[in-house]
Amino acid sequence: MIRCLLFFSIIISLLTTSCSTRIISTNYYQERKGTVDSIESRYEKLNATKPFAIAFTDKRLNIISFEMISDTLTRIYEFNINEKRLFDTLKKYNYNTPGIYYLIRKMQETKVTWINSVDYYVNDQPQQLIYLSIKPVTIRYLFSPPKYIALGYFRTAQAFDEKGRLLDSRRTKKIRKIKGQTFYRISDRICYTTTEKYR
């Protein structure tokens, strides 16, 4: 009995500790750079006129949680992307319906699961960052957590250390964490991380 328990505990610990999820592609962003960057720039334009955020909440990327953000109220509604209710709602709240449908389609094709605008402050002045997550193809073992690639698009050039980690500012060596994660340099204003949560 003790031997049996020991055997199972070894199997479980092997499955949970040594087999973490692996992202197949090591160069995910570069392979899809054009599409991902165009999703970001399209979102930036649409969001500037009427703020919103989109998350795909199911594995097959058919259901979205759409956040309509205003100064006084945020509406969070869930839709199947083929549902007429989505069209009616976008129209009712004066969103750019064709633009948002195009964005949703592009997000679905590229497996972008979440896109959002995040505000932060430098020297007490407001700044903006566009945050998007991608669901890559992974090798996943039993009990291992999911993995997503998160990208941060800053408006201005950022500071990074010699290991490519995002810093708070040029003057400090303090690592800036976004949602508790260290981000790494892709370019002066784009950085990435791998994370277990897509938002």
Residue 44 tokens read as 């930036």
Among 118, 137, 139, 157, interactor with another protein by CB under 8 A: 118
CB 96 within 8 A of CB 46: yes
Binds another protein (CB under 8 A): choice among 71, 84, 163, 170: 71
Nearest 5°: phi and psi at 129? -135, 135
Tell me: does residue 158 bind another protein (CB under 8 A).
no
Q: b or e along 62-85 (b: 16 or more beta carbons within 10 Å of the residue's beta carbon)?
A: eebbbebeeeeeeeeeebebeeee
Q: Is residue 176 at the binding interface for another protein, with CB under 8 A as the rule?
A: yes
State the CB neighbour count (10 A cutoff) for residue 182.
Answer: 14
Provide, rounded to whole angstroms, the least separation between the CB of residue 168 and another protein: 7
Contact 63, 78 (CB under 8 A): yes
Site string for another protein, 73-112 (x = CB under 8 A): xxxxxx----------------------------------
* Segment near another protein (CB under 8 A); pick from 3-11, 25-33, 44-52, 174-182: 174-182
The stretch among 30-38, 156-164, 176-184, 185-193 that binds another protein (CB under 8 A) is 176-184
Residue 193 binds to another protein (criterion: CB under 8 A): no
